[in-house]
Structure 1
Amino acid sequence: MTRTTLRDRLRAGNRLRLIGAHDGLSALLAERFGFDGTWASGLGISAVHGLPDEGLLTMTEFHAAAVQMRQASSLPIVADVDSGFGDQQVVRRMVRLYEEAGIDAVCIEDKRFPKRNSFQDGNQLEHLEVAVRRIEAAKQAQRGDDFMVIARQESMIAGAGLDDAIARAHRYRDAGADALLIHSRRKDAGEVAAYCARVRADGIQLPLVCIPTTYHSTTAEQLWSYGISAAVYANQLVRASARAMELVLESLAAVGSTTDVEERIASVGDLFGLVGMDQPAITH
């Protein structure tokens, strides 16, 4: 049976929850709990390399992490590719590599290189014409109809405001973007709601995506009511992983054994089951 594509689900009006993953195990867990897709998180992938999310990893390293997720899980994958890793030629190659690997979409943000994480200060928007050319190059490079290019808008992050975000939304739609991701780091969803209302009032009908990291008390149902099509919980799993490892290490360092934490962590059998080691052996 043919798998329903991410594009088809968004076009059909489905409301999707995507989980930020950084490797095969986190992608497996997202699938086990019934989420609609995974986000190959730039922050998550950088963090598991022990590096800050500041454009230090290469396209090859980000691509390898997304491929690992693809091999582990059947869920749709949206790859966070920062600002595309370079100029139009680089963007074209990037799209071909990700599409050939079976990744469902790439999300290209409109910040200048070297990028900074959106929750840091000092972010600078890319010149509009440069950002538009990257979207155009990405769409020209894709070979199949199902692959998606999502334009991630950082106007709110960089302090340029709603009017700039709306002006860019029009240009990215005209450049061929398949969806728009609006990013905000306010503690409420006010900027996101205002953006959604303006975009729809202006006749832009592309699917809208958001990342509710700082406005985490806003429920998915509230986001749907604003007009959001997909919510990306982009970094919670890597944050949870870091804290869980800290707790185990703190206990082991203090007590000298893992007995105090064994009931709070996955058993060896649980881990075997998750990665398929509980299958019967083949005998001859």
Structure 2
Amino acid sequence: MAKNLTSRAANIIWKHVSDKSARLSQCRYYTAHGAKKSAALKKMLTSSNLEYIMEAHNGLSARIVEEAGFQGIWASGLAMSAQMGVRDSNEASWTQVVDILEFMSEATEIPILVDADTGYGNFNNARRLVGKLEERGVAGACFEDKLFPKTNSLHDDRHQPLADMEEFALKIKACKDSLRDPNFCIVARVEAFIAGWELEEALKRSEAYSNAGADAILMHSKKSDPSEIEAFMKAWNHKTPVVIVPTKYYTTPTQQFKDWGVSMVIWANHNIRTSVKAMQDVTAQIYKEQSLIGIEKEKKVVPVKEIFRLQNDHELVQAENKYLPK
């Protein structure tokens, strides 16, 4: 009996050691792989050209973004929460978000900049999150200077209280100081315009966050014209790279962003909005017609084989031929 218990205990210890070693090995892989991605993201932010990144919210949409030719991915907080069926108010925990990001990172070779909201707490929560993102090969995190839990910036007539400027700047510094990968990008998202403040406040906050080590400033606006962004760009005078999100002022010609010296444009939520529209239309049509003939004939759905392709199923077929007995 004692011998069996000893043997069982040894097996448990060995399994624990093996699992831990596997996790450490995987962590080292992600960190090394992520370093290449973070370097690519930093290069995009500092490029003399206007760069673009596209929203994705899971592994499948991330792969679609990469196949389209984009050189970077925006892991949108709105889109990730929406595909989980919850509100963009930190109702999804940071661990749930990190799980999604792991699948996105595995599915692609291009860098991911994640919408990290306010960092899910104070400086300690934010720097711990950064460490977990590094382990999973994510290239950068964008933190916004509002209070936890956050409120989506595009809500109408919703109070948008800002974080204390000094505390948020120190949060940025804490994240930078904790990095293992020096190329991991920390982007400071300034919500002054969203909260109803004037240009002076936006500039003051941007200066503080830049001095704290932010690799770029994301200047946000929900006006239907780009006047706030234009005013900021002229006053900021290229002190650090600037990222914008033209969801509301989408009619603005992209050439204007180039002329102002914007570094990066985020197409922030258009894949999740596209998928919702497509699912609503197809579901309603099937319900109404009680048949699949219409949606198949009108090519409103992709063939099942296209899903298999995006899932990289051919690799599994090759592996089965190699590793399973005939």
How far apart in 2 are the matches of 1:190 and 1:128? 24
Larger Rg: 2
Q: Among residues 136, 161, 168, which one is paired with 1:124 in the alignment?
A: 161
CA shift, 1:154, in A, is 0.4
Paired with 2:100 and 2:258, the residues of 1 have a C-alpha distance of: 30
- The unaligned stretches of length 5 or more in structure 1 are none
Instruction: Report matched runs for 1:1-284 at 5 Å.
Output: 5-120=40-155, 121-200=158-237, 204-262=238-296, 263-278=299-314, 281=318, 282-283=320-321, 284=326
Instruction: Output the CA distance in 2 between the equivalents of 1:9 and 1:214.
Output: 23
Letter in 2 for 1:266: V
Q: Shift of the alpha carbon at 1:277?
A: 2.4
Q: 1:96 Cα deviation (Å)? A: 0.9
* Greater helix content: 2
- Paired-residue identity, %: 34
Unaligned runs of 5+ in 2: 1-32
Question: For the aligned residues, what is the CA RMSD?
Answer: 1.6
Contact 1:248-1:258 within 8 A present in 2 as well: no
Q: Which amino acid is 2:189 matched to? A: R
Counterpart-to-counterpart distance in 1, 2:261 and 2:247 = 18
Q: Helix, strand or coil: the match of 1:260? A: helix
CA distance in 2, matches of 1:161, 1:226: 19
Q: Any conservation in 1 of the 2:217–2:240 contact (CA below 8 Å)?
A: yes
Q: CA deviation at 1:61?
A: 1.1
| Distance in 1 (alpha carbons) for counterparts of 2:187 and 2:240 | 10
Q: What whole-Å deviation, never above 9, does each CA across 1:165-194 have from its counterpart, x for those lacking one?
A: 000111001100000000001111111111
TM-score, normalising length: structure 2: 0.83
Question: Retained in 1: the 8 A contact 2:247–2:267?
Answer: yes
Corresponding residue SS for 2:282: helix
Shift of residue 18 of structure 1? 0.7
Paired AA for residue 180 in structure 2 = R
Cα deviation per residue 1:124-163 (whole Å; 9 max; x = unaligned)? 1111112111111111111122101000010010001211
Deviations for 1:35-84, whole angstroms, at most 9, x for unmatched residues?
Answer: 12111110011001100101111110111111111011111100111001
Deviates more, 1:211-220 or 1:239-248: 211-220
Counterparts of 2:255 and 2:70, CA distance in 1: 15
Q: Would the aligned equivalents of 1:62 and 1:81 in 2 still touch at CA under 8 Å?
A: no
CA distance in 2, matches of 1:9, 1:232: 12
